[in-house]
């Protein structure tokens, strides 16, 4: 006992061994981090899930119909072999910019409008509010390689020589101006070197009379093959020398210009290569004899009347008997509405006596009338003649099914091609099962894509014309209604309620635990018999049920008993 009393103990200072307590992490709420961290993770996951689109619908994109149909209308030839229809296009060198229904600031096209970040090959300005084009606006690096320029339905007031300066490489030019008057100063002169096709339609006005020189000046257009001047007011007389600066001209349209007489020689060098001449829509009272007699020698397609059921063009066979006769300088023609007549008189100096004759060209019946088209493509003009008056009607039967009705098809060997992309081209032959012959030709096409644009072309002997092609947009896609389980129909509601429930119960549990720690901490202390040997000790002591002394007395007794035994 004396030894027990005299033995000294090295007791640790409680202040030195006490762990540091942070103000932001008190001991009683240290467990809150195990709730806050899962809640943060759950919130992040919920935020991600709410911003993910789980729908299976794919975005629908359509290729440009202009690019898709280029293979079929570039040279008016289509091949049924799909492998030969693929278009090898270098997209970098075929950049097309189309401005449609755009209001230019103050109606002026300036150099700031066209960006300099890319090089354009084709520019189309359609239905835009354009009154002026600033000089040298096209004389910049990104536009000098421009090959095609189209200005459609503009309201231009003035065009000068500097307007199109810098477009020496331009090949195709189109101007359709709807303003009644326009001041012109040989604006086509900068394009003379490489221009192959030009279309200029100035709105007809009785107060403004133009000449081709107002448009083209005196420059020589060595490459110009196709020229369309339909509807311009050039006065009443078509004069000699207007087209002497266009030696390569093959197609010339002067329709609806309201000429009364034509006074130029078709045998001149200016028309040495001319293959197509359109003079329809003019109220001609006086014709040069060479206009009538020379089409047979030159293999020239001459058109003197409009496409209608009551008027017809003058066939060359009607003047075959008078081909070698010597005509007077002019031939008077009186056009009746039903039967056009051409009268010719003999001359005294002629070795062939030819009495006054009247040649009548009977109009064809409406059932047998067939409109023939010449290939007047922009880059080339050939003698291809084909029927182009077929009528194509498309009826939507479903979102993926259409019915194509063909009428006025007068040729036997035909086929139909349709496509939405140049890599997926389909062909329907005359002998296919989907073709039905009743009063008309009916073709049912299935398995199309909904809300997609298609190009449909009718082929004659593997060839077609732009007039035999049209586009069609299928119906919008409808959602397929399928029977699903209750859980699938309400999955969003179930997941939302489950997430909210978990968060709610976690919050209630955390609040209840925090309240118990403050007001009834004994509820969470466990048994009173379980005590620590020291405050920071990891050793736990289980005390007997009927102890009456404090913890330290019990420890001393147990220690004394062990010492007595030893």
- Please give the radius of gyration of the chain, using alpha carbons only, rounded to the nearest integer: 46
Residues in a beta bridge with 470: 456
CATH of the domain at 403: 2.60.40.10
Sign of CA dihedral 219, 225, 231, 234: positive
Residues 256 and 199 in one domain: yes
163 and 231 part of one domain: yes
Domain boundary residue among 374, 406, 431?
374
In this structure, are 307 and 242 located in the same domain?
Answer: yes
CB atoms within 10 A of CB 127: 13
Same domain, yes or no, for 196 and 293? yes
149 with 189, same domain: the answer is yes
Cβ contacts of 496 within 8 Å, gap of 6 or more? none
Given a contact cutoff of 8 angstroms between Cβ atoms, the answer to whether 265 and 291 are in contact is no
Give the model's pLDDT for residue 151.
93
**Residue 344 and residue 213 in one domain:** yes
Which CATH number fits the domain that encloses residue 351?
A: 3.80.10.10
The Cα 165–Cα 40 span in angstroms is 66
Count CB-CB contacts under 10 A for residue 215.
22
- The reported pLDDT for the residue numbered 312 is 33
> Does some domain include residue 524?
yes
205 and 121 part of one domain: yes
In a domain, 32, yes or no: no
**∠389-392-393 over CA atoms, to 5°?**
145
pLDDT at residue number 236: 82
Q: Looking at the domain assignment, is residue 547 inside a domain?
A: yes
Query: Which of 353, 374, 395 is the endpoint of a domain?
Result: 374
**Domain presence at residue 127:** yes
Nearest Cα residue to 246 out of 215, 219, 265, 210: 219
Examine the domain organization and report whether 315 and 412 are in the same domain: no
DSSP secondary structure of 446-514: -SPPTT-EEEEEEEETTB--GGGEEEEEPPPP--------HHHHTHHHHHHHHHHHHHHHHHHHHHHHH
The pTM score is: 0.42
Instruction: Flag whether 1 is in a domain.
Output: no
Any domain includes 47 = no
Contact present, 186 and 338 (Cβ < 8 Å) = no
> Which own/partner contact pairs does 87-95 have at CB distance under 8 Å and 24+ positions apart?
87/422, 93/121, 94/67, 94/121, 94/122, 95/119, 95/120, 95/121, 95/122
Total domains in the fold of the chain:
3
What pLDDT shows up at residue 378? 40
- End residue of a domain, out of 326, 342, 374: 374
Please tell me whether residues 307 and 184 are part of one structural domain: yes
Residues in the chain: 566
Task: Give the pair of three-digit tokens for residue 508.
Answer: 């209630």
- Do 390 and 521 sit in the same domain of this protein? no
Is 183 part of a structural domain of the chain? yes
Which residues form the domain of 398? 385-473
Q: What is the dihedral of CA 292, 295, 301, 306, to 10 degrees?
A: 0
Separation between Cα atoms, residue 134 and residue 91, nearest integer Å: 29
Mean per-residue pLDDT pooled into runs of 10, the chain (566 residues): 47 56 54 77 81 53 44 44 37 66 84 69 88 88 86 91 89 91 90 91 84 89 90 82 85 86 65 78 68 54 53 34 30 34 33 30 37 41 49 86 83 82 82 73 87 85 74 79 69 86 87 77 62 69 59 70 77
Mapped onto helix, strand or coil, the DSSP state of residue 360 is strand
- One domain for residues 238 and 329: yes
Domain membership flag for residue 106 = yes
Of 447, 471, 454, 462, nearest to 392 (Cα)? 471
330 and 290 within one domain: yes
3-state secondary structure 199-249: EEEECCCCCCCCCHHHHHCCCCCCCCCEEECCCCCCCCEEECCCCCCCCCC
């Amino acid at each position: 006992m004396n030894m027990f009393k005299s033995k000294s103990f090295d007791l640790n200072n409680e202040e030195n061994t006490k762990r540091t307590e942070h103000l932001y992490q008190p001991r009683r709420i240290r467990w809150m981090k195990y709730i806050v961290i899962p809640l943060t993770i759950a919130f992040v996951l919920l935020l991600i899930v709410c911003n993910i689109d789980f729908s299976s619908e794919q975005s629908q994109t359509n290729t440009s119909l202009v690019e898709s149909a280029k293979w079929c209308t570039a040279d008016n030839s289509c091949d049924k072999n799909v492998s030969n229809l693929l278009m090898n296009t270098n997209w970098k060198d075929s950049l097309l910019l189309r401005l449609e229904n755009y209001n230019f600031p103050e109606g002026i096209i300036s150099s700031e409008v066209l960006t300099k970040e890319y090089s354009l090959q084709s520019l189309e300005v359609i239905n835009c509010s354009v009154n002026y084009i600033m000089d040298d606006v096209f004389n910049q690096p990104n536009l000098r390689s421009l090959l095609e320029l189209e200005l459609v339905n503009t309201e231009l007031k003035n065009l000068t020589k500097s307007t199109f300066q810098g477009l020496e490489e331009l090949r195709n030019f189109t101007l359709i101006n709807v303003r009644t008057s326009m001041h012109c100063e040989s604006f086509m002169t900068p394009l003379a070197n490489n221009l192959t096709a030009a279309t200029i339609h100035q709105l007809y006005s009785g107060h403004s009379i133009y000449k081709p020189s107002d448009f083209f000046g005196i420059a020589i257009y060595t490459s110009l093959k196709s020229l369309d001047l339909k509807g311009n007011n050039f006065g009443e007389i078509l004069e000699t020398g207007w087209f002497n600066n266009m030696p390569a001209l093959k197609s010339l349209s002067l329709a609806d210009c309201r000429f009364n007489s034509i006074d130029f020689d078709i045998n001149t060098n200016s028309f040495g290569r001319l293959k197509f001449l359109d003079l329809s829509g003019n109220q001609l009272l006086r014709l040069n004899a060479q206009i009538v007699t020379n089409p047979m020698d030159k293999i020239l397609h001459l058109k003197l009347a409009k496409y209608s059921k009551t008027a017809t063009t003058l066939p060359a066979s009607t003047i075959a008997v008078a081909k070698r006769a010597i005509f007077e300088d002019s031939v008077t023609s009186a056009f009746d509405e039903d039967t056009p007549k051409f009268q010719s008189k003999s001359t005294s100096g002629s070795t062939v006596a030819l009495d006054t004759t009247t040649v009548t060209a009977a109009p064809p019946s409406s059932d047998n009338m067939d409109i023939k088209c010449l290939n007047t493509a922009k880059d080339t003009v050939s003698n291809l003649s084909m029927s182009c008056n077929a009528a194509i009607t498309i009826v939507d039967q479903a979102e993926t099914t259409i019915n194509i009705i063909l009428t006025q098809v007068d040729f036997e060997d035909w086929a139909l091609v349709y496509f939405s992309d140049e890599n997926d081209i389909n062909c329907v032959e005359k002998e296919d099962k989907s073709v039905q012959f009743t009063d008309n030709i009916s073709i049912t096409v299935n398995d199309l894509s909904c809300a997609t644009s298609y190009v449909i072309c009718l082929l004659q002997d593997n060839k077609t014309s732009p007039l035999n092609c049209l586009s069609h947009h299928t119906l919008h896609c409808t959602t397929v209604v399928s029977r699903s389980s209750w859980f699938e129909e309400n999955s969003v509601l179930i997941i939302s309620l489950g997430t909210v429930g978990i968060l709610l119960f976690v919050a209630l549990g955390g609040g209840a635990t925090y309240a118990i720690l403050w007001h009834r901490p004994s509820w969470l202390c466990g048994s009173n018999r379980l005590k620590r040997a020291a405050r920071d000790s990891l050793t736990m002591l289980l005390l007997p049920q009927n102890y009456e002394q404090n913890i330290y007395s019990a420890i001393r007794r147990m220690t004394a008993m062990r010492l007595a035994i030893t």
